[in-house]
Amino acid sequence: MTLKRGRRLRGCMGVFCPSGPLPETLDSVARSACRDPRFKTCPVTADEVAELSIELSVLSVPQPIPDPSKLETGRHGIIVRRGDRSGCFLPQVAVERGWGASEFLTQCCLVKAKLPSDAWREPGTEVLTFTAEVFVDRA
């Protein structure tokens, strides 16, 4: 679940392996989105609620991709994992930022997983892709 005010990200939380039916998972994700660490320093105010949009992305099961440079931006989301570090970007992130596959992977390593920029190219780093069906409620 992603909350945005205009084009500005306000918060985002989710799960990759739901533990129950979709309605229960949605309830759980909505509650966890309210605890996004970004809200501690910049909480949503009553004045901005009417301007928020909610995106719900229902993800496919993540699958390893043998050659990460072949992922399709706009279609594939990514998970990059190495050791105890991991990062994820939804498919729409690459489109919103104008990134090609290499930049998408590099930014996920740097920003989300806190890994070296080229970690996605190295043995021992796992890259998985997934697709998402996106539902949007715009303010």
pLDDT digits (tens, 9 = 90+) for 12-26: 888 888 888 888 888
Confidence check: pLDDT of 139 > 60: no
Domain spans of the chain? Answer: 1-59, 60-131
CA-based torsion, 66, 68, 70, 71: positive or negative: positive
Average pLDDT over residues 116-132: 96
- What is the CA 38 to chain-centroid distance, rounded? 15
> What per-residue confidence (pLDDT) applies to 138?
67
Confidence check: pLDDT of 89 > 80: yes
CATH entry, 60-131, from 3.10.20.30, 3.50.50.60, 3.30.1490.150, 2.60.290.11: 3.30.1490.150
pTM of the model: 0.84
> What per-residue confidence (pLDDT) applies to 106?
98
CB 30 within 8 A of CB 60: no
Strand ranges (E), 33-114: 52-59, 63-64, 77-82, 85-89
Question: Which runs of consecutive H residues, i.e. helices, occur in the chain?
Answer: 22-33, 38-41, 91-97, 101-107
Average pLDDT over residues 37-61: 85
Question: Pick the residue with more confidence: 17 or 79?
Answer: 79
